[in-house]
Amino acid sequence: MIVSCPSLAATSPARPESAKTASLPRDAPYPKQDHSSTADPHFTFHVSRFPRAKRERRWRTFSTSCYRGNIHFTIACSGIAWKALPSQFVVPWNTYCGYIELFCMMTFMSPDWRDFTPSAWLRNPHFMTVLPGYWPRRGILAGVQTDSRLFTTEPHTQLRGFCHWQPTRTVCQTVVLVHGLEGCSESHYMRGIAAKAYRAGFNVIRMNQRTCGGTEHLTPTLYNSGLSQDYRAIVHELARVDGLDRIWLVGYSMGGNLVLKAAGEVGSSETALAGVIAVCPNIDPPQCVEALEQPRNWIYHRHFLVSLKARLRRKADLFPGKWDLKKLDGISWISEFDDRYTAPDGGYASGADYYNRAGARHVLDSIAVPTLIITAQDDPFIPYSMFTVPLIQRHSKIRVIAPRHGGHCGFFHWAHNGEDPYWAENRIVDFLQERK
């Protein structure tokens, strides 16, 4: 069986391209979304027969749709195997996940459980990026006590964190988690890492960046990729107020840049900082924004831009007169949004000035603690070339793991040893435990 993922779509994109050996007929059925918030999640499979390909194989396309978006992938196999399939059938969410798991297990498993070698159809970077966020992860923090806490990082600015303390917190190491752009403390990877690190014996704090996770009222400012001082202040408070002396900063995407930047800025002056872990960090924002605004990444760009605009409108309601929103609707690019709103709010001269100064690449050489960077060579908008420079490759404190596949913060596969599919989360906990 060969499974491939040639394209991914959201609401009403152009029809996907098929595998090289066949093309999708223009009259092929296209899935419709069910946007009902009360209906149980379900997937509809549409099956279309392709013309004969080489070696007399027949190809069929499964287009799956759910109320949260469309995911398109192609399954190629002999025609005999699918003769009994109807033209359309509906399955509930759990059954659909079972089908996907079966396909993953039938196609490939890594011989070394620490390697990331996903199934063939998961090697499409867009599918890899989106799928983990839709995979059900219910109850992963069930039974873990959660305390809400506000950290004051500068006058009139507070960040909310959700703390999971061990019974003897001062003798345990602490992991501070920082989410990515338009994420929050409830993002699936934040909860996933928190559950695993807590059960491994660590204190865990899931932080919301400024204005995120419903905290727009806690600061008059927006958030941006350069606010590393917030996380330096949090480490300082945990060390001086709580008496914690082994604190790890862990960040995803934009959060990864922030924690790397914070570590580079403090160097060896903060003895409580034990180390840093970053997943797909945007250490060079000009390169990352340029990649994000490429046509192939329209789905991510649109998601971020729409979400950022909505957040700014909520902020403007809370702080009347602070931002002029007259031209907000006419903004079509994130770089334009940052130039008009993010940069001035953060004290930068322009969007270009913001992108240039906010990147952690400027201070990586000053990092003095054990550091792990996990990134994918096929990340759609975090160019792998950023991590191949001598400054990073030869740094005595920085270790880079860069699988060929993984998408943006995806790293979803099945391993032999019974681990869950979230490979990067498991490697993060491994790295923490090796230095416990």
Q: Strand pairing of 371-374 and 398-401?
A: parallel
Positions of E strands within 295-370: none
| 82/47 Cα distance (integer angstroms) | 9
Tell me the backbone φ, ψ of residue 323, rounded to 5 degrees: -125, 140
- Please enumerate in sequence order all residues whose Cβ is within 8 A of that of 23, keeping only pairs 6 or more positions apart, or say none: 17, 50
What is the structure's pLDDT at 357?
A: 98
Residue 46: pLDDT above 60?
Answer: no
What is the structure's pLDDT at 114?
A: 64
| 130/215 Cα distance (integer angstroms) | 26
What is the structure's pLDDT at 115?
A: 81
Q: What confidence category does residue 120 fall into, taking pLDDT thresholds of 50, 70 and 90?
A: confident
Q: Is 60 helix (H, G, I), strand (E, B) or coil?
A: strand
Residue 83: pLDDT above 90?
Answer: no
Could you tell me if 246 and 173 are in contact, meaning their C-beta atoms sit under 8 angstroms apart? Answer: yes
Render pLDDT for 154-168 as a digit per residue (tens, 0 to 9): 999 999 999 999 999
Give the single-character DSSP code of 300. Answer: H
What is the DSSP secondary-structure string of 76-127? E--GGGGTT--SEEEEEHHHHHHHHHHHHHHH---SSTTS----GGGGSHHH
Residue 139: pLDDT above 70?
Answer: yes
Render pLDDT for 337-358 as a digit per residue (tens, 0 to 9): 999 999 999 999 999 999 999 9
What is the structure's pLDDT at 378?
A: 97
Query: For the sheet containing 273-279, what is the strand order?
Result: 147-154, 157-164, 203-207, 174-178, 247-252, 273-279, 371-374, 398-401
What is the structure's pLDDT at 78?
A: 32
Mean pLDDT of 260-278: 98
Which pair of structure tokens corresponds to residue 318?
């809370």
Tell me the backbone φ, ψ of residue 374, rounded to 5 degrees: -110, 125
Residue 32: pLDDT above 60?
Answer: no
| 354/183 Cα distance (integer angstroms) | 21
More confident residue, 79 or 354: 354
- Please enumerate in sequence order all residues whose Cβ is within 8 A of that of 430, keeping only pairs 6 or more positions apart, or say none: 114
Q: Indicate if the alpha-carbon torsion angle 207, 208, 214, 216 is positive or negative.
A: positive
Q: Is 151 helix (H, G, I), strand (E, B) or coil?
A: strand
State the DSSP H helix or E strand holding residue 44, giving kind and residue range, or none if neither.
strand 42-49
| 49/61 Cα distance (integer angstroms) | 7
Through-space distance between the first and last CA atoms of the chain, rounded to whole angstroms: 43
| 301/241 Cα distance (integer angstroms) | 40
Mean pLDDT of 101-128: 65
What is the structure's pLDDT at 45?
A: 41
What is the structure's pLDDT at 436?
A: 83
